[in-house]
Structure 1
Amino acid sequence: MDALFENYRTLLARVSARCGEIEAALSGHMACRKGCSACCLNISLFPVEAVSLRLAFDTLSEAQKASALARAAESSDEGPCPLLDGDGACLLYGNRPLICRTHGLPILFDDGEGNRRVDFCPENFQGLSSLSGEVMIDLDPMNQTLAAVNAMFCQALFEGEPPFERLSIADTLFLELA
């Protein structure tokens, strides 16, 4: 099954490298840290992300899995991510989805009305009057690439007919893999 995730892992590595560059350039202005979990919500994932995360979930200890599953059973849409431990740290930080990797950083996106907008965590970049385009992540091409990677994954694993279009992180933890 590893070959199915090659494109996804390549994308994760590229996005992580870009995020690392931005974090290094803006390190003195970043409030994000381990335990800061305001952005960590029960978001929805594409099948490639959900299956990858579910496989990583199996690597946790039985106690960690039981605790996360209990939180997942009680979770709501847009509630806290069930993968947060008691200290607000992600149990699967190294395997987190793309959106989780970009949280807090300056992102550039199309607002749906033809306007390009910039967004970032309000705790970050205080005292800066502006941000250069060189330290932003353009979400649109990243999301287009993720959608293409997901389509290839779904074609290979589900013959193009995935059992779900998107799945919350909480529901992902209960996903049964054959």
Structure 2
Amino acid sequence: MDADGTSSKGIARSLRKLGGGFQSWVKQGLRIKELKPETALTLLNEEAEAILEDLSASPVQVLGYGVGSVAALYALIEWEKTLQLIGVVGLTQSIFRRVASYEGPEDFRKDVRLLLAPVRIGAQAFSWVAGKLETSGIGLPTSPSSSDVQTRVLQAAAKHESQPSDTEEVQKPSSESVAPINENVDFSEA
């Protein structure tokens, strides 16, 4: 047989003239395959047999299959590390492709500006916060309202004439003025 039948016809005529052909092949007891009804299973079986006949793995292929199987097993066992490796490889590829696509130095400058934009915004926020904070005498930051709070407390103390001075001593309570402690009192609601 051939693709369009032109060569096989000529060969068949030549074989018949020589006394050959299919009938001669059968008479000589050579191997033939009897036609069986074709089903999906028989077709698949024939295809599988043909593929297996074509496969003759070389030692290098067997070694490659073995290494690939071990790598696949390791990837399944250590899936977190595998995902990290895939992420690093993917990020590296993305960066390489981006850099390879640059047409000039202006493309690089544009990417650097884009990468540094969050840093610039963070620095602006930090300087704004630093400007809002006032420092105490020893250089520690305080809230903007602490001096207002201190002024109000001093004003309230002056109103009630209970402003403490540095010369006053703390009075110690006498033992007579202390009430006896009741051990059965429940302080859980206090």
Specify if TM > 0.5. Answer: no
Q: Which has the higher strand share?
A: 1
Larger Rg: 2
TM-score range, shorter chain: under 0.3
TM-score (norm 2): 0.18
